Structure 1
Amino acid sequence: MNIGGWAPEPAETTELIGTAPSIALAGVLDVAAPADELPPLWQWLHFLERPAQHELGPDGHPLEGRFLPPVPNRRRMFAGGRFTVHSPIRYGDTITRRAELASTALKRGRSGELLFVTVRHTFVRDGDEVAVEEQDLVYRSGDPVSRPAQVSHESPVPEAPWTLPITADPVLLFRFSALTYNAHRIHYDEAYATRIEGHGGLVVHGPLLAMLCLELPRRAGHRARALSFRAQRPVYAGRPFVAAGSPDGALAIEVPGATAMTATFA
């Protein structure tokens, strides 16, 4: 896998933070909408890219983009990230997001070469840095991996002070895709997800799993100032999973017999 001298320049986007996206996500999560400020990670509902239809590839992602590596037959996976809050982003704020390529790393996995790309977003209000986010994305090229073994439909029963049992159905995935303007077909086209990309069903969005992890301390009244999360395996629609955590800062997404995502908050 050769990316040559790929080194995209930083880019800035400015947006007035409105309440409508948060109200919509609150409806998806069956919770009351936040009153004054964006909960951490809910900035993913803002600063969205809206490419034209002809600019999309066969997987639903844009064919080209400032931070999309020049990899042939590119397949994209969400790997994790980090988020630090210095000052809350409030509704009515005008926020500038500065995006830049933080790092790249080429590794070899079971399915071949993998390119890890980290994109850093710095959020600025009136010249002051209010938050910093890093997203870790993985790209591979070539044939899809073989379809995974049959996934259990049993509900995991983690031992944790905080638990949130969930079964994400296609309607929930569709609504989250719409809110984040995510056209990746693995989230709504089961034939594509299973036959082309080798998944065991429709894939629950990695960002949605991270948000569900952070719902645990938020619903318990904790205000997270720093968090990190790492995806370990896909979670599929229609299969029960549980967001689990504790006040000591440990969070996870548990599926039967395995952990799909780990996270920490402070």
Structure 2
Amino acid sequence: MQPTSPAPLGSYVESWTPGPLTDEDPLATGPVAALSAALDLPGTVAEAGDPLPPLWHWLHFLTWPAQRDLGADGHPLDGHFLPPLPDRQRMWAGGRCEITEPLRLGTPAVRVSSLASVTAKRGRTGELLFVTERREFRQGGRTCLVEEQDIVYRSGRSTGQHPSAVDESALPRPDDPWQLPLRPDPPLLFRFSALTANAHRIHYDAPYCRDEEGYPGLVVHGPLLALLMLELPRRRAPARQVRSLSYRLRHPAFAGEALAACGTPAGDHAELRVATHREERHATAEVTFA
């Protein structure tokens, strides 16, 4: 008997049409203060009325599934915008954000999430499903920012091509005018997982990373790389408001590696990236200033 070919990923989502979902959050100051402490930001005190830095809304509108509803990898088994794929594997690819005005701490906000697009594509490692989720954030009856997140799914477990070991002594040597070094360690990854309600084991379970996913060590969160890039304009051009941004997560980085967020401003925009001695572009971003 000939083995049957796996069903195309698109066939699993032909009738999958999740409707919009509305959530509320008080935008408490605690998460901002906690992430500021984790990143060693000097003298940062979060108070009601302060503007949320770009992408820091990821600290809010969190969901905590019951423990029984997590998969073996720590990721939720089901969710409103999780496609019905067998043995689903998830990767955050990137996103975009338009900021009309920053959200303000201490003022309740509403998030309206919807499914923007679902596209099946074939990549080097097989068939992939690209899901884009759109989120509108409103405060005081006004739409303050609109975000799109691109998530890639595959069916079945697989490991990518990763280095067998990480050289923790090597340093990136960029020459960009904006630079911010960071050497993420396991405590930082643990704190960021807790602040973003992320229970995926690749960020805290080193034996799982090596034995099940094929990584040489703990994986730095893609969102943490994005936030690190956005720290460059926040610290180096604090008077300029980010009006729009886009980012792409390209290659994983690992705990213990020396990272450098690098940026080049040019007029009303800036090009950003995260580099190590292994890769010049683990993540890339572009911001446009108001």
**TM-score relative to the length of structure 2:** 0.88
CA offset digits 1:64-83 (Å, max 9, x no partner): 10000111111111111111
- Given that 1:147 and 1:200 are in contact with CA atoms closer than 8 Å, whether structure 2 keeps it comes out as no
- Given that 1:111 and 1:145 are in contact with CA atoms closer than 8 Å, whether structure 2 keeps it comes out as no
Q: In structure 1, what is the Cα distance between the partners aligned to 2:14 and 2:74?
A: 25
Give the secondary structure class of the aligned counterpart of 1:219.
Answer: helix
Displacement of 1:147 after TM fit? 5.2
- Given that 1:83 and 1:131 are in contact with CA atoms closer than 8 Å, whether structure 2 keeps it comes out as yes
Q: Which of 130, 139, 143 in structure 2 is aligned with 1:125?
A: 139
Name the residue aligned to 2:177.
161
User: Is 2:51 the counterpart of 1:19?
Assistant: no
CA offset digits 1:33-66 (Å, max 9, x no partner): 4551110100000000111111111111111100
Name the residue aligned to 2:252.
234
Q: In structure 2, what is the Cα distance between the partners aligned to 1:186 and 1:145?
A: 12
- Given that 1:155 and 1:256 are in contact with CA atoms closer than 8 Å, whether structure 2 keeps it comes out as yes
Change (3 A) 1:83 1:146: closer
Which piece of structure 1 moves more, 140-149 or 119-128? 140-149
Q: Which of 8, 17, 39 in structure 1 is aligned with 2:53?
A: 39
Name the residue aligned to 1:103.
117
Amino acid of the structure 1 residue aligned with 2:82: L
Q: Which of 153, 157, 161 in structure 2 is aligned with 1:143?
A: 157
Amino acid of the structure 2 residue aligned with 1:160: D
Q: In structure 1, what is the Cα distance between the partners aligned to 2:156 and 2:209?
A: 15
Q: In structure 1, what is the Cα distance between the partners aligned to 2:162 and 2:245?
A: 30
Mapping of residues 151-190 of structure 1, within 5 Å: 151-153=166-168, 154-190=170-206
Amino acid of the structure 2 residue aligned with 1:200: P
CA offset digits 1:11-43 (Å, max 9, x no partner): 000111111000000001111245511101000
Which piece of structure 1 moves more, 101-110 or 17-26? 101-110
Change (3 A) 1:147 1:195: farther
Q: In structure 1, what is the Cα distance between the partners aligned to 2:195 and 2:271?
A: 28
Q: In structure 1, what is the Cα distance between the partners aligned to 2:176 and 2:101?
A: 30
Q: Which of 15, 39, 44 in structure 2 is aligned with 1:5?
A: 15
Displacement of 1:165 after TM fit? 1.2
Unaligned 5+ segments in structure 2 are 1-8
Amino acid of the structure 1 residue aligned with 2:24: T
Give the secondary structure class of the aligned counterpart of 1:209.
Answer: helix
Which 4+ residue blocks in structure 1 deviate beyond 6 angstroms? none
Change (3 A) 1:169 1:243: same
- Given that 1:227 and 1:263 are in contact with CA atoms closer than 8 Å, whether structure 2 keeps it comes out as yes
Give the secondary structure class of the aligned counterpart of 1:245.
Answer: strand
Give the secondary structure class of the aligned counterpart of 1:117.
Answer: strand
Change (3 A) 1:158 1:7: same
- Given that 1:147 and 1:194 are in contact with CA atoms closer than 8 Å, whether structure 2 keeps it comes out as no
Amino acid of the structure 2 residue aligned with 1:243: A
Give the secondary structure class of the aligned counterpart of 1:44.
Answer: helix
Which piece of structure 1 moves more, 183-192 or 194-203? 194-203
User: Is 2:263 the counterpart of 1:245?
Assistant: yes
- Given that 1:120 and 1:132 are in contact with CA atoms closer than 8 Å, whether structure 2 keeps it comes out as yes
Name the residue aligned to 2:4.
none
Alignment length (residue pairs) = 266
Amino acid of the structure 1 residue aligned with 2:259: F
